[in-house]
Structure 1
Amino acid sequence: MQGYRVLVGVGGGIAAYKVCEVVSTLAKDGVQVRTVLTDAAQEFVTPLTFATLSRYPAYGDRDFWQPVHGRPLHIELGEWADIFLLAPLTANTLAKLAHGMADNLLTNTVLASTCPVLLAPAMNTDMWEQAAVQRNWQQVQQDSRYHTLAPGSGLLACDRVGAGRMAEPAEILPYVRSLLHTQGDRDLIGKHLLISAGGTREFLDPVRFIGNPSTGKMGIALAQAAHHRGAKVTLVYAPSTAIESVRAFGVRCIAVETAVEMRQAMLAHFSQADWTIMAAAVADVKPADYSPEKLSKSALPENLLLAPVPDIVAELASLKQPHQRLVGFAAQTGDIVTPAKEKLVRKQLDAIAANPIDQPNSGFGSDTNQAIFLDRHGRQHHIDQPCSKLTMAHQLLDFIHAMPKC
């Protein structure tokens, strides 16, 4: 994230306190962050707070006419930014954006910039549901510059329960990072991606199962990245604690536990998918016998008989149409390329991501990852140092997008 520049516009609402975490996290990641506050925003959080968290001055309307290096401030800031985040976006500022109005430093800077703008509204439920506000919300979404995180529902600061709650930092930060990678390009509009995530569980009885350490973070990162790039996404996930980070903004999420359940869900949606990415760690075997009641310790078999589970990716490959792309994952130790190439050919995949799970900060459960991507045309792409799983997800989508069509 070193060297990127994010401009944050803060509106007047209690949700401004959440933006402190966003600014602090980006700054810790090495991003240059500058903030612009409306007069109303300064009633909730002081400019000093944001200046301290970002290590850069925070600007308000009192600074509007103070030149920077001899140039107007709104011009300088607008040209400086790679990404512009507006959070919380108030009904007042939304109306100004929808109609191209500019009467303060924040809105003038929006018009003086050309970078992608991410909007995260926050307001009372009755305000959000007003017809005029909804018209303005729909209108800004017609402008390709604007990317949007619709508010969620919950208990608001006014004690109302309903829509209007600003997206959480855990939703805002991945979107900002995606925009820094894509510069706002929605190159997957019109495509439907089917993605699997997590590790399946194969039960011996109601409390014991054969499983693996997969947390689903890689598959969820792929779903986030694809959604941010405009794709329609269906995510089939085995148990994962991170699923709410994608469910909240419109990714269709289908929960499964076993390999049989994952097979059923993947087959049900495969024909509608343009790209299918099998990031899940699916079990290879299951207990041959299942007890519907918990087995006592003395009743546990000394030798556990095992039975194979469906080979989901091979079955999908047999059904694949010429316009579809099927991508697998191979979690390996030691030499990761040789077995990945063999799996690529044997399973008739279009591409595969080979993960070195024996390397630090990579593989199961980690927030970072590294990999080698290979495709059936002989191309390779190496990620030799651990990066965030969202960054790796974008690089994999880039790799698939660049694949030859034949």
Structure 2
Amino acid sequence: MSGRRVLIGIGGGIAAYKVCEVISTLAKSGVEVRAILTDAACQFITPLTVATLSRHPAYTDEDFWQPHKRPLHIELGEWAEVFVIAPLTANTLGKLAYGLADNLLTNTVLASTCPVLLAPAMNTDMWEQLSVQRNWQQLLTDKRYHSVGPGAGLLACDRVGAGRMAEPAEILPTIASLLHAKGKRDLAGKRVLISAGGTREHLDPVRFIGNPSTGKMGLALAQAALHRGAGVTLVRAPAAWDVPLGVQAISVTSAKEMEQEMRSHFSNADVIIMSAAVADVKPAEYSAEKLPKRLLPTNLPLEPVPDIVAELATLKKPHQKLIGFAAQTGDIVTPALEKLHKKKLDAIVANPIDKPDSGFGSDNNQAIFLDKQGHKVEIEPCSKLQMAHYLFDFIISY
């Protein structure tokens, strides 16, 4: 992200306070951030706040009408790699839908060619007005425009409903995806099925055999696929994160449940990625009631669980691509290649879990991609979202 260029347009709404976190996080990660505030936005947050967080002067309409070496809206429009408008108000939405430009923000939109990310925010009744929805749908027919939110919840007006601006945790990954893919929707029309997280094989209602997987890699894959235009179904074992808006999520606990859901949705998928850390064995017997400590077995009989990825491979049609993961220590390539060929996968991700800041629970990862044609791509340490994009690049390329 270091050195990338993001322009933030801030509209007049109470949700403008959320944009401060977006700007701060981007700046701390090395992104060059410039910001434009409308006159209405200045009623909610100050240019000084935005300038301090972005480490660069913030622009207002007053700056628009000052002399510059080149017109300010032209300069900013050409500079930006991604243009984010948050909060997007009903007023600005209407102007953009009809190509109107009467302030610095809207003039800069028309003077730019980069992807534009829209994060609407307004009262539920305002959002649901026929005219607003017409403008929204009309604007999204332009491939330049991408959206995040709005969500539903308690609004600042005390109304509970749709119109809540997306949280920074949703906006930031979308920005990163737009920077990587340059706004391309190269997975549009594709269905992507992803498994995520670590399954749990219960001995009784409170004890289970599990693993440290948090499902963050699966989440990143779902985000990347969604941002690139795919329809996404995510089968996830217990995880602490929220599912992105627009992703069909199915919660499971055990390997058997995951197998059932993956098989159920398999035929509709074009790309299937098994990133879940699925158990290899389970207790041979299950107690429906919590076992007293004195009755816990000293030797726990185990039995194997279904090999989900191997079973899916037997169902695979020629147009489908099935990708597996191999979390390994030490030599990661040899066992990954063995798994690739034995289980008849199209590709596999070999990732080390014994490297610093990599693997289970980490926000970052590193890997070697291998496919059945013999292609090999080594991915240096990066965020899991970046890794997800690299994997889709690999899948599309071969």
Once the two structures are TM-superposed, the CA of residue 370 in structure 1 deviates from its matched residue by 0.5
Aligned with 1:326 (options 322, 325, 334): 322
Contact 2:173 2:385 in 1 (8 A): yes
Shift of 1:3: 1.2
Cα distance in 1 for residues equivalent to 2:59 and 2:198: 47
Residue in structure 2 matched with residue 78 of structure 1 by the alignment: 77
Is 2:215 the partner of 1:220? no
Separation in structure 2 between the aligned mates of residue 65 and residue 336 of structure 1, nearest angstrom? 60
> Residue type of the partner of 1:39?
D
Contact 1:10 1:86 (C-alpha < 8 Å) held by counterparts = yes
* Aligned equivalents of 1:67, 1:204: Cα separation in 2: 73
Could you tell me which amino acid in structure 2 is paired with residue 255 of structure 1? S
Cross-structure match for 1:265: 261
- When the two chains are superposed, the root-mean-square deviation of aligned CA atoms in Å is 0.6
Amino acid at match of 1:201: R
In the alignment, the residues of structure 1 paired with residue 293 and residue 2 of structure 2 have an alpha-carbon distance, to the nearest angstrom, of 54
Work out whether residues 66 and 72 of structure 1, in 8 Å CA contact, stay in contact via their aligned partners in 2.
Answer: no
1:170 aligns with 2:166: no
Identify the match of residue 345 of structure 1 among 341, 347, 371. 341
- Equivalence for 1:2: 2
The share of aligned pairs that are identical, in percent, is 74
Check conservation: 1:195, 1:223, Cα contact below 8 A. Answer: yes
1:67-106 equivalences under 5 Å are: 67-68=67-68, 70-106=69-105
**Is 1:14 aligned to 2:35, yes or no?**
no
SS at match of 1:115: coil
Q: Contact (CA 8 Å) 1:65, 1:72: kept in 2 or not?
A: no
Q: Deviations over 1:170-202 (max 9, x none)?
A: 000000000000010000001000000000000
Deviation at 1:250, TM superposition (A): 1.1
How far off is 1:383 after superposition? 1.2
Q: Is the 8 A contact 1:170 1:245 kept in 2?
A: no
Unaligned regions of 5+ residues in structure 2, if any?
none
Uncovered stretches (5+) of structure 1, i.e. residues with no partner: none
Could you tell me which residue of structure 1 aligns to residue 305 of structure 2? 309
Q: Which residue in 2 is equivalent to 1:391?
A: 386
| Equivalent runs, 1:172-251 vs 2, <5 Å | 172-242=171-241, 244-246=242-244, 249-251=245-247
Structure 1 segments of 4+ aligned residues over 4 angstroms from their partners? none
Partner Cα separation in structure 1 for residue 31 and residue 317 of structure 2: 43
Alpha-carbon distance between aligned partners in 1 of 2:148 and 2:341, rounded to the nearest angstrom: 40
Show the counterpart of 1:368. Answer: 364
Give how far 1:65 is off. 2.6
Q: Distance in 2 between matches of 1:284 and 1:321?
A: 26
State the TM-score, normalized to the length of structure 2: 0.99
Query: Could you tell me which residue of structure 2 aligns to residue 30 of structure 1?
Result: 30
Q: Is the 8 A contact 1:199 1:282 kept in 2?
A: yes
2:387 counterpart letter in structure 1: M
1:284 aligns with 2:280: yes
Which amino acid in the other structure matches residue 402 of structure 1? S
Structure 2 match to 1:122 = 121
- 1:43 is aligned to 43
Equivalent residue of 1:205, what SS? coil
Q: Does the CA contact (< 8 Å) of 1:171 and 1:245 recur in 2?
A: no
Letter matched to residue 202 of structure 1: E
Partner amino acid, structure 2, of 1:25: T
- Aligned residue type for 2:38: T
TM-score, normalized by length of structure 1?
Answer: 0.97
Q: Which amino acid aligns with 2:280?
A: D
Is the Cα contact below 8 Å between 2:243 and 2:249 reproduced in 1?
Answer: no
Q: Which amino acid aligns with 2:54?
A: S
Structure 1 residue 150: Cα displacement: 2.6
Between the aligned partners of 1:66 and 1:347, the Cα distance in structure 2 is: 66
Distance 1:66 1:178 in 2: 35
CA distance in 2, matches of 1:342, 1:156: 53
Give, in whole Å, the separation in 2 of the partners of 1:162 and 1:356. Answer: 44
| Aligned residue type for 1:46 | T
Q: Distance in 1 between matches of 2:259 and 2:365?
A: 26
- Asked whether the equivalents of residues 119 and 149 of structure 1 are also in contact (C-alpha less than 8 Å), the reply is yes
- 295, 314, 317: which one pairs with 2:291? 295
